[in-house]
Amino acid sequence: MALECVMGIDVGTTSSRVTIYQIDGRIVAEGRAAHEACHPHPGWAEQRAEDWWISVCTAARKAFDSFPFPHDTIHGVAVTSMRQSFIPLDEALKPLRPGILWYDTRHAAQVDWVQENIGIRKVYEITGSPPGRRAIYKVMWLKQNEPDVYKRIYRIAFIPDYIQYLLTGELISTPGIAMTSGCLNAAAPLTWAQDLIAECGVDPAIWIPTIWPAGSVVGRVTPQAAAEIGLSQGTPVVLAAGDQACGNLGVGVCQPGMLGINGGTSCALQTPSERLPIDQAMSYFVDFSPAGYYIAENGITSGTAALTDWFRDEFGKQERESAGSEDEIWQKLYDLALDAPPGNNGLLLVPYLRGANGPLWDPRARGVLVGLMTEHGRANLMRAVFEGLAYESRKILESMEAGTSEPVSLVRTYGGASQSKVWNQIFADILARPVEVTCDPTPVSLGAAIVAGFGVGLYADPVAAVQSMIHIACRYEPDESCTGLYDELYHEVYLHIYPPLQRIIETASRATTHRANPLQQEMVAASGKNIHAANVRGEEFNLI
């Protein structure tokens, strides 16, 4: 049998990764290349679209340097990226200005206007996401602040759209990418919400008119692209989805009843759904899986990496000085939690250190420690971090089960925290569900490669591709000696901590909020809005 390989391209915030897999999931070769963001004003974040292409080509050539087979053994390629980042293109499909990144916050006044004049619930029910850090609000900003650029916009392209265009000459999008616009019709995800777009004062014609399902072949690598990137001319390019959805597919979350948890900065959770899972409580937002399902998604803004970095910097001096390597530092820090018992002697953390996601959607939310005693030490604080993240994840999981009408029976974790036995076991015990970890350390690229595989017919469907390309490294069963205690603490304590404190914390947050920077003052003054309201309402809780 001839060798068959697939390629996944992942364009991240700081670098691009290109990974080539055999169809059994083994990595054959990989390359990475950096690209830099610029921040010309406070709150702005931009990158040159040309740099995305350069970094992809550089990473691909590095991968090919160690690829021992003919390049035509790569049967398909798919592209994923950081979501929400986009580039305005002119009629010749050339960039009009630098691309605007997902974490750019220049659009506070525009979000405020939409919330007050169109309405949060209306936007959520149409698009599956409340107003926030989505592309349409930044396009509104361009219209108001860079009118000469706006007048020349022919198309708004997201990163995969743009890279696929350079690979194939075809500009076609897919629901898992177009959803990050904030103006896709979630109930009919191959179409734009044109009435909403018009209400926002934006021309509906600037959004890519052709949207195809994930797994569709958008085109084939052109001779020019082949010369630049190293792929064989004619290699099929397949539509995929955003990085979070591809990461979930890359750990095998390919059908309802499964939940993926990214133990990274934002501790993002996703579960597939066969129907549009609009939630009356707006507890989560909606995305699309490249496996063909809707996705309910939410997360904890101050997730595992955010909180463990904080703990290391503020309380981990002993480990930093005694450990011989970065890996050893993290091993020692994570293992600290083993020195505290399950239930943590009554110390609980509500992990809102960077605000709260749905259903609160409150950037003024703050973390809360309950039950603190002089007997508690660093080990208890570390365990409180892990248990608090797991309690909040359980709350999110239950809201997703209610909204999708699909019970979750299996959890797959990925990201840096998934390499920790103690982290996985705590999650298994508090979620009261088995937790599995897969072998591949780069599930986002693998998820894109899986889409390429079934898109070109190497597999019958996404499930068959997952079964062939994904392998389980370890499984954690809930410990019955702990689950009862955790269940009691969750229902009797954790769920009741934050609601009575929310208004008190909001008041404290208002009292300690720093004065807005001059740019924010200028933006809000131009809109006639209250500066404090605009700052709050303009900050959405992005999950990468």
pLDDT digits (tens, 9 = 90+) for 86-134: 999 999 999 999 999 999 999 999 999 999 999 999 999 999 999 998 9
What does the alpha-carbon distance between residue 448 and residue 434 come to, in Å, rounded to a whole number?
A: 26
Task: Dump the DSSP string for 12-45.
Answer: -SSEEEEEEEETTS-EEEEEEEE---B-SSTT--
End-to-end CA distance of the chain: 38
Do both 365 and 496 map to the same domain? Answer: yes
Do both 402 and 445 map to the same domain? Answer: no
Residue 61, number of CB atoms within 10 A of its CB: 15
Average pLDDT over residues 422-446: 96
Domain of 259, CATH number, reads 3.30.420.40
Do both 470 and 366 map to the same domain? Answer: no
Which pLDDT band holds residue 397 (cuts at 50, 70, 90)?
very high
- Of 317, 307, 274, 280, whose CA–CA distance to 293 is shortest? 274
Range of the domain at 467: 245-299+409-479
Whether residue 207 is predicted with pLDDT greater than 80 in this model: the reply is yes
**Residue 452 placed within a domain:** yes
**Residue 540 placed within a domain:** no
Determine the 3-state secondary structure of 324 from DSSP.
coil
Find the range with the poorest average confidence among 174-188, 409-423, 518-532.
518-532
**Residue 509 placed within a domain:** no
390 neighbors 292 (Cβ within 8 angstroms): no
In 186-273, where does DSSP find H-type helix?
194-199, 223-229, 243-249
Whether residue 538 is predicted with pLDDT greater than 50 in this model: the reply is no
pLDDT at site 282: 94
Do both 149 and 222 map to the same domain? Answer: yes
- Structurally, the chain folds into a number of domains equal to 3
Looking at per-residue confidence, does 3 or 232 come out higher? Answer: 232
pLDDT at site 513: 55
Do both 372 and 470 map to the same domain? Answer: no
pLDDT at site 534: 31
**Residue 515 placed within a domain:** no
**Residue 519 placed within a domain:** no
pLDDT at site 372: 97
Instruction: Please report where in the chains the tokens 């001779």 appear, as a residue.
Output: 223
**Residue 485 placed within a domain:** yes
Do both 239 and 255 map to the same domain? Answer: no
Whether residue 527 is predicted with pLDDT greater than 50 in this model: the reply is no
Do both 140 and 100 map to the same domain? Answer: yes
Mean of pLDDT over the chain = 92
Whether residue 361 is predicted with pLDDT greater than 90 in this model: the reply is no
- Of 373, 372, 352, 371, whose CA–CA distance to 363 is shortest? 352
Which pLDDT band holds residue 196 (cuts at 50, 70, 90)?
very high
Proportion of the chain above pLDDT 70, given as a percent: 94
Proportion of the chain above pLDDT 90, given as a percent: 88
**Residue 508 placed within a domain:** no
Do both 471 and 379 map to the same domain? Answer: no
Instruction: Please report where in the chains the tokens 């198309």 appear, as a residue.
Output: 155
Which pLDDT band holds residue 4 (cuts at 50, 70, 90)?
very high
189 neighbors 288 (Cβ within 8 angstroms): yes
Q: Is 268 exposed, middle or buried (0-12, 13-18, 19+ CB in 10 A)?
A: buried
Q: Is 468 exposed, middle or buried (0-12, 13-18, 19+ CB in 10 A)?
A: middle
Going through 170-227 in order, the beta strands assigned E by DSSP cover 217-220
Do both 445 and 462 map to the same domain? Answer: yes
Do both 308 and 294 map to the same domain? Answer: no
**Residue 278 placed within a domain:** yes
Do both 316 and 380 map to the same domain? Answer: yes
pLDDT at site 205: 98
Average pLDDT over residues 369-384: 97
Which pLDDT band holds residue 512 (cuts at 50, 70, 90)?
low
Do both 208 and 259 map to the same domain? Answer: no
